[in-house]
A = this chain, B = another copy of it.
Amino acid sequence: MTDTFTLTGRNFIGSNPSTKGNDIFQAIDPKTGVPFGTEFHSATSEEIGYAAILAAEAFETFGHSMGASRAEFLEAIASEMESNSQAIIEQANFETALPIPRLEGEMKRTTGQLRMFAEFVRDDSWVDARIEIAIPGRSPIPKPDLRRMLIPIGPIAVFGSSNFPLAYSVAGGDTASALAAGCPVIVKAHPAHPGTSELVAQCVLKAAKAREQPNGVFSMIHGGPGPGIALVHHRILKGVGFTGSLQGGRALFDAANSRPVPIPVFAEMGSVNPVFILPSALEDDVSGLAKGYAGSLTLGVGQFCTNPGIVVALESSMLDEWVSQVQSEISGQSGTMLTPNIGKSYCASVGNLSSYPSVGTIVASSEPGTPSLFKCEAKAFLEDDSLQSEVFGPCGLVVVCKSADEMLQVAKSLHGQLTATIHSKPSEVPKELIRILEQKAGRLVFNGWPTGVEVCAAMTHGGPYPASTDSRFSAVGTTSIARWVRPISYQNWPIELLPSELR
């Protein structure tokens, strides 16, 4: 721990530390399942309401601030996180069991995202200004002067994810994009890494103070689903960003849509990220493909939303060889999962798959974090929708097709996905397979693996439901700012009263 920040277990209602509630919890050591360290206070309705009011007040100035000012704020957050990098990473390592090098990489990604959005909004050119000058003499009626730009929608609720304690939590992509747009943020910290969350929150608050941002531009509350739903229900909140499970995302989506005034929810809920391995790829390099798949499947103990949970391939002796090599690659591997509950769920899902009469077990263990591999015939996969359910963790299912046509049927049967991948010689890909997968996924990968999400303007991280609640947006990259903004048009507005972007 650095000298700078000490864990307090408090909620931060704007810059005010607050512990009004009696619901207290601790972080749990993922390795032992034993609670440890600081006691954290779940937020009360009163605290949530106060955070919302502060956010609304902050929005009155923050929502009209210059991009340059918000850019400085984002950069200051990045710098504060770097200054406290060691303490944050250590705490995250205690709380999530993610290895230090992984967390160091995630820290770089997180500060990189903050700086990317700083660059993106600094000169205010991102607001997509459209100016149409009046044509007073137009017949039959004059054309008015119309000027349109994007403005922030208001305070946003951000839900920290369990599997990205930095890049998709307190100062992660959702927070960075919302702040960049001019929306105050109230984060609900993920209870699996409350200490990491507090340290990062302190960085954000220190940066806000240093850059003279209004109190309430950022708040962070602790708690489980109760405070989360209360936050989404609060009338002041105008949008929701979430990364996590289908069940959690859908609950927030339903809560937001049942409000008297519904608000948009962007929930990124993961998927099974199907990988289609065509014969020409196996002919080319069975062992490279086996190593590549095993690496992607087990990366981060399989706890990525882009984890390649399903492989689709044609029946062949080469496929058998590939399966056997993957089996060798993953056997004996093991890792600690993010939380004991995630470990339990993983084991339950693996046990469940083992018990399917139509599913063959290649590798399965009752230990959390130990990779598993199953196999089934395409016919069985097509007949049982539940085989498409995501298993969070390093668990793969190989769907064996008897024909190219059956492979297309499997592709057609897939639910919405974040990604879909094809391994093949380019000349041997059936065009129809591409056409089908374009309808299923937000990102298509060729001769690669879906894990590893590049943060850039050309990235789409999202996809048809249940990959996300709204495929029209991305959760990663500069375009993700579109989730938090709306157009406004000014008609015949006096130049001197227009926002500077439209003059």
**Which residue of B140, B153, B446 contacts A490 across the interface (Cβ within 8 Å)?**
B446
| Interface 9-residue window, one of A31-39, A401-409, A450-458 | A450-458
Give the distance in Å from the alpha carbon of A377 to the alpha carbon of B328 in the complex: 80
Interface size (A, Cβ < 8 Å)? 70
> Are B446's CB and A492's CB within 8 A?
yes
Q: How far is the CA of A132 from the CA of B478 in the complex (A)?
A: 13
> In the bound complex, how far is the Cα of B256 from the Cα of A465, in angstroms?
13
User: Contact partner of A492 among B264, B442, B447, B470, CB < 8 A?
Assistant: B447
Chain A positions 407-449 with a Cβ under 8 Å from a chain B Cβ = 416, 426, 429, 434-435, 438-439, 441-448
Q: Which residue of B lies closest to A108 (CB)?
A: B140
Q: Which residues from chain B contact A63 at a C-beta distance below 8 Å?
A: 439
Q: Are A465 and B261 in contact (CB under 8 A)?
A: yes
Choose, from A144-152, A188-196, A315-323, A339-347, the stretch at the interface: A144-152
Q: Contact at B261–A416, with CB atoms within 8 Å?
A: yes
The minimal Cβ–Cβ distance linking A389 to chain B, given in whole angstroms, is: 14
User: Assuming A262-B469, A489-B442, is B482 touching A131 (CB within 8 A)?
Assistant: no
Which positions 474-499 of chain A face chain B at CB distance < 8 Å?
Answer: 474, 479, 482-483, 485-494, 496-497
- Does A23 touch B at the CB level, under 8 Å? no
CB contact list, A372-407 vs B, under 8 A: none
Chain B residues lying within 8 Å of A144, measured Cβ to Cβ, are 448, 454
Q: What residues of B have a CB within 8 angstroms of the CB of A151 in the complex?
A: 438
- Give Cα A254–Cα B464 distance, bound, in whole angstroms: 19
Hey, which chain B residues are within 8 Å of A490, CB to CB?
A: 443-444, 446
Across-interface contacts of A26 in B (CB, < 8 A): none
Contact present for B253 and A491 (CB under 8 Å): no
> Is A130 touching B488 in the complex (CB atoms < 8 A)?
no
Residue with the highest number of chain B CB atoms closer than 10 Å, among A130, A474, A485? A130
- On whether A488 and B460 interact (CB within 8 A), knowing A254-B257, A257-B254, A493-B446, the answer reads yes
Alpha-carbon gap, A294 to B469, bound state (A): 44
Q: Is A165 interfacial (CB-CB < 8 Å)?
A: no
CB distance from A472 to the nearest CB of B (A): 5
In the complex, the answer to whether B488 meets A147 with C-beta atoms within 8 Å is: no
Alpha-carbon separation in the docked complex, A444 to B487 (Å): 11
Would you call A299 an interface residue if the criterion is a C-beta within 8 Å of the partner chain's C-beta atoms? Answer: no
Bound Cα distance from A444 to B491, whole angstroms: 6
A471 CA to B261 CA, complexed, in Å: 12
A460 CB contacts on chain B under 8 angstroms: 148, 487-489
Residue A60 is within 8 A (CB to CB) of chain B in the complex: yes
**Which of B154, B426, B486, B487 sits near A494, CB closer than 8 Å?**
B426
Chain B contacts of A466 at CB under 8 A? 261
Nearest B residue to A256, CB-CB? B257
Q: Report the minimal beta-carbon distance from A125 to chain B, rounded to whole angstroms.
A: 16
> Is B465's CB under 8 angstroms from A487's CB?
no
Q: Find out whether the CB atom of A470 lies under 8 angstroms from the CB atom of B132.
A: no
CB of B264 within 8 A of CB of A429, answer no
Structural contact, A443 and B491, CB atoms closer than 8 A: yes
The 8 Å CB contact of A147, one of B132, B458, B486, B491, is: B458
Report B-chain residues with C-beta under 8 Å of the C-beta of A447.
Answer: 492
A416 to chain B: which residues have CB within 8 Å?
Answer: 261
A359 CB within 8 Å of chain B = no
Contacts of A459 in B (CB 8 A): 146, 148, 489
Distance between Cα atoms of A289 and B491 in the complex (Å) = 17
> Given A141-B452, A153-B472, A493-B444, A488 and B257 touching (CB < 8 A)?
no
Residues in B neighbouring A479, C-beta threshold 8 A: 148, 487
Residue-wise interface mask of A (282-307) relative to B, using a CB-CB cutoff of 8 A (1 in contact, 0 not): 00000000000000000000000000
Q: If the complex has contacts A143-B454, A146-B459, A435-B60, are A444 and B488 also in contact, measured as CB distance less than 8 A?
A: yes
Contact flag A443-B488 (CB < 8 Å), given A153-B471, A460-B148, A465-B261 = yes
Q: What's the Cα separation between A462 and B150 when bound, in Å?
A: 13
Contact (Cβ within 8 A) B472 A146: no
The verdict on A209 contacting chain B, using a C-beta distance below 8 Å, is: no
What's the Cα separation between A445 and B497 when bound, in Å? Answer: 12
Nearest to A141 among chain B residues (CB) is: B452
Nearest CB of B to A170, in Å: 24
Q: Is the CB of A458 within 8 A of B130?
A: yes
**Chain B contacts for A464, CB-based, 8 A:** 261, 486
Question: A141 to B452, alpha carbons, bound, how many Å?
Answer: 10
CB pairs A–B below 8 angstroms (8 shown): A132-B456, A261-B466, A429-B497, A441-B488, A442-B488, A443-B489, A443-B490, A473-B486
